């Protein structure tokens, strides 16, 4: 390699000064840890926010235009379902009910729950069962309970456990599992649509959503246009997730706070690494001057400093990722409802910021090194 020798010298200069090298690593590691922790929390919140869309695999959702999140529906009139079923390109359409309720447990305690009412005929969107039979949901007063992080709030019910919901008796006939836990920290019960609207008080309109299966992808645009003529909107599951993401990012304080903390973490890492790297360059000016005196070109010194900065940044990046992974794993073990998760986009964001820190730090050092003259070094 053409520059292998000069890069090897730079590596030895870097690691031999253990104090400065450790300070650089600690600064970047701490910055990466904070940036990853903040963005992982945001990713976990978003994942929980559209858990309803994830757990109910509908291709399209019809809703009121004012709806921002899946758990805060605005009721639709019944004619929307009939009109949807008659549209060209619709394979089938079913109603869905989502509402909040307060249940009284056997101990006498009260607990808030989310009740999901599935279409009576098809049970479209039903969860997979760990225990029980799905056919039992057609018996009187029956519900399925989701075994997730909030399961214990219902006092760990078993099949046959009963409770009271709005003066109605309810019985658990199945324990289900879902792909994603909810965001609001309340347990989830599934039942039939008609039982849900009977047990839970509501307005004169009862449907939360209309779930649609188009005949093919080409039919989606036509369905959306037909629904728009009714005064409502039809989103694909991807579009609905994006709407939820936009809501939490731009219309709540969550996105702003996460962004602010990420920027602060970046500034902390940049200030620590930039100052430490500049101090390192100052303390080794004699060595850089000596390299110039024996024939090292300015371009070679630039490559050497860039290598030193990038090597330190990537090492700190790896340590930061490892640290945040351990912390999230421990937190999830102790707190099952902990929402943080590591995704490719926050890994990429942290990597981009670390490279930017390395670029700014190396620029500061390069400017100083290129201005030194070997004569001044040896004269001193």
**113-172 per-position pLDDT tens digit:** 999 999 999 999 999 999 999 999 999 999 999 998 889 899 999 999 999 998 899 999
Structure-token pair, residue 259: 């962004």
What is the DSSP annotation of 181-230?
A: --SSS--EEEEEHHHHHHHS---S--BSEEEEEESSTTHHHHHHHHHHHT
The C-alpha angle with vertex 290 and arms to 8 and 316, in degrees rounded to 5, equals 40
Q: In Å, how far are 38, 52, 355 from 44, measured between CA atoms?
A: 10, 14, 25
What is the DSSP annotation of 52-64?
A: HHHHS--SEEEE-
Whether residue 370 is predicted with pLDDT greater than 80 in this model: the reply is: no
Half-sphere exposure of 246 (CA within 13 A, CB side): 8
Per DSSP bridges, beta strands 90-104 and 110-118 are: antiparallel
Whether residue 55 is predicted with pLDDT greater than 80 in this model: the reply is: yes
pTM confidence score:
0.80
Of 197, 188, 167, 49, whose CA–CA distance to 114 is shortest?
Answer: 188
Residue 365 near residue 67 (C-beta atoms within 8 A): no
Per-residue pLDDT band for 376 (boundaries 50, 70, 90) equals low
- For 123, list phi and psi in degrees, rounded to 5: 50, 35
Of 208, 254, 181, whose CA–CA distance to 78 is shortest?
Answer: 208
Residue 293 to residue 299: CA distance in whole angstroms: 14
What per-residue confidence (pLDDT) applies to 179? 86
What per-residue confidence (pLDDT) applies to 271? 80
* % residues pLDDT > 90 (the chain): 46
Per-residue pLDDT band for 85 (boundaries 50, 70, 90) equals very high
Structure-token pair, residue 155: 């006092």
What mean pLDDT comes out for the span 224-233?
Answer: 95
What mean pLDDT comes out for the span 341-362?
Answer: 86
The C-alpha angle with vertex 76 and arms to 73 and 77, in degrees rounded to 5, equals 160
What is the residue-averaged pLDDT of the chain? 87
Radius of gyration of the chain (CA): 29
What mean pLDDT comes out for the span 311-316?
Answer: 87
């Amino acid at each position: 390699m053409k520059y292998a020798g000069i890069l090897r010298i730079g590596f030895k200069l870097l690691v031999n000064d253990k104090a400065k090298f450790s300070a650089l690593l600690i600064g970047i590691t701490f910055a990466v840890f904070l940036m990853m922790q903040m963005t992982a929390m945001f990713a976990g919140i978003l994942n929980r926010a559209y858990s309803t869309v994830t757990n109910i695999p509908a291709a399209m959702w019809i809703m009121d235009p004012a709806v921002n999140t899946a758990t805060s529906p605005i009721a639709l009139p019944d004619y929307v379902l009939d009109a949807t079923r008659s549209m060209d390109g619709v394979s089938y359409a079913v109603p869905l009910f989502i509402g909040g309720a307060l249940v009284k447990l056997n101990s006498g305690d009260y607990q808030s729950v989310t009740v999901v009412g599935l279409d009576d005929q098809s049970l479209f969107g039903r969860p997979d069962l760990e225990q029980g039979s799905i056919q039992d949901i057609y018996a009187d007063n029956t519900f399925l309970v989701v075994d997730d992080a909030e399961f214990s709030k219902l006092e760990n019910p078993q099949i046959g456990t009963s409770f009271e919901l709005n003066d109605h008796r309810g019985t658990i006939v199945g324990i289900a599992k879902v792909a994603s836990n909810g965001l609001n920290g309340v347990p989830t019960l599934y039942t039939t649509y008609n039982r849900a609207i009977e047990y839970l008080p509501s307005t004169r309109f009862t449907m939360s959503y209309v779930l649609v299966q188009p005949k093919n992808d080409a039919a989606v645009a036509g369905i959306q246009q037909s629904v728009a003529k009714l005064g409502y909107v039809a989103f694909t599951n991807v579009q609905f997730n994006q709407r939820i993401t936009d809501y939490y990012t731009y219309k709540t304080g969550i996105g702003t706070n996460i962004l602010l903390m990420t920027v602060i973490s970046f500034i902390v890492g940049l200030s620590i690494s930039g100052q430490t790297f500049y101090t390192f360059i100052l303390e080794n000016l004699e060595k850089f001057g000596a390299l110039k005196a024996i024939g090292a070109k300015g371009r070679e010194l630039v490559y050497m400093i860039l290598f030193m900065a990038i090597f330190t940044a990537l090492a700190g990046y790896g340590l930061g990722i490892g640290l945040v992974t351990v912390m999230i794993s421990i937190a999830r073990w102790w707190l099952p409802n902990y929402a943080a998760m590591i995704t490719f986009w926050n890994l990429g964001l942290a990597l981009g910021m670390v490279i930017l820190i390395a670029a700014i730090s190396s620029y500061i050092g390069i400017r100083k090194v290129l201005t030194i003259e070997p004569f001044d070094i040896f004269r001193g």
